[in-house]
Structure 1
Amino acid sequence: MIHVKLTKLLFDTMRADLLRPHPFAHERVGFILAKKEQTDDALTIFATSYQPIPDGQYVNDPNVGAKIGAEALRGIMQKAYQSKDCILHVHLHEHSGPPRFSKTDLFGYNQMIPAFHNIGGAAVHGGMVFSFDSAIGLIWTSKDGEPVPVNKLSIVGYPLQIQKTGVGGYV
């Protein structure tokens, strides 16, 4: 089982950034840095910070909703290398109900996320797509392994919100 936990403050910060318009990108993306705890039957990922992508690090590509350049990837990989953190690439699909990964999402994640393992260490990395009231996620526990779905997302605040991903209702 994979459980992602983030504070309501971090979630609200991320969501506000992902909803901001961009001069040419149709959507925003960002990164969550996180710590992990592994037990025999569960992997828990504790989000520690949200890293927005500066406007100038987006690439103007009308074929995708958002594309970021090498500078953004190098920057987040450097931070994760120094802190030994996990990296989660995040973005928002602006609708209610369970989101799905687009073909573009899956292609990009399969190229980008295994490369995060090149920074070494025991961190896991992944991607999550949020909707207005739900989320879906995949975690790569190794560079060569297959991604594993996130089973549960908790947004810790008042009131406590826990959900299975893809079900809806955490907002």
Structure 2
Amino acid sequence: MKTKFREGLFEEVIESLKRPHPFAFERVGYFLGEIKEGVLLLDEWMEFEDFLYEENEEVGARIGGEGMTMLMEKAFSSKKSFFHTHLHDFQDEPYFSSVDMRSLLEVTPSLFDFTETCPHGAILIGRKKSRLVWWDQKQCLSKNEQLINYGLGPRRNYEE
């Protein structure tokens, strides 16, 4: 799936995710967007304030109940596609861990309750590329996956 970001949004997201958190190992958020003429256009960012994170030693960051309620309310009101996003700044071409995938499969199906016709998934930002995974239906049986040419490095867009 061809993917585009609103001008300046990718950089805004990186700055948001790089901020230290008082207790979470990492920060998370959601890209929001729509498919227009076969292109996924990501045009909005939803971040979570510090108090919405829940202390947890099993994962790098966990959003508590209030934050999850905000996410579902946003999904209901916007009718957009949602892509959970976090950094793997230790990988050039990042891969989702088994913990990442388990967490995605806990949350992603609920997003389809509000926007049945939109894909939902995740973007994992690495040093040179980012990995995009998405599902087209609530059951999340068939995963789609691809690398996109955006990363943390100074060039950001690594298209050849």
* TM-score (normalised: structure 2): 0.87
Query: What is the alpha-carbon distance in structure 1 between the residues aligned to residue 33 and residue 77 of structure 2?
Result: 13
Distance 1:3 1:154, change over 3 A: farther
8 A Cα contact 2:75 2:115, kept in partner: no
Aligned pair 1:98/2:93, yes or no?
Answer: yes
Where does structure 2 lack aligned partners over 5 or more consecutive residues? none
Structure 1 regions of 5+ residues with no counterpart? Answer: 164-168
How far 1:95 sits from its partner (Å)? 2.1
TM-score normalised per structure 1: 0.82
Q: What is the RMSD of the two structures over their aligned residues, measured on CA atoms?
A: 2.2
User: Map of 1:36-55 to 2, 5 A cutoff?
Assistant: 36-37=35-36, 43-55=38-50
Q: Given residue 148 of structure 1, which amino acid in structure 2 is its aligned partner?
A: N
Q: Which residue of 2 aligns with 1:116?
A: 111
**Partner residue, 2:84:** 89
Secondary structure of residue in 1 paired with 2:113:
helix
User: Equivalents in 2 of 1:111, 1:153: separation in Å?
Assistant: 27
Which structure dedicates a bigger proportion of its chain to strand?
Answer: 1
Number of aligned positions between the proteins: 156
Deviation at 1:154?
6.4
Identical-residue share of aligned pairs (%)? 26
2:144 corresponds in structure 1 to 148
CA contact (8 A) 1:33 1:80 kept: no
The alignment status of 1:16 with 2:15, answered yes or no, reads: yes
Q: Give yes or no for contact 1:130–1:136 (8 Å, CA) kept in 2.
A: yes
Runs of 4+ in 1 over 2 A off after TM superposition: 150-155, 159-163
Partner of 1:64: 59
Kept in 2: contact 1:27–1:66 (CA 8 A) = yes
2:31 and 2:95 mapped to 1: Cα distance? Answer: 19
Match of 1:32 in 2: 31
**Which structure would you say has the larger RCO, counting Cα contacts within 8 Å and 6 or more residues apart?**
1
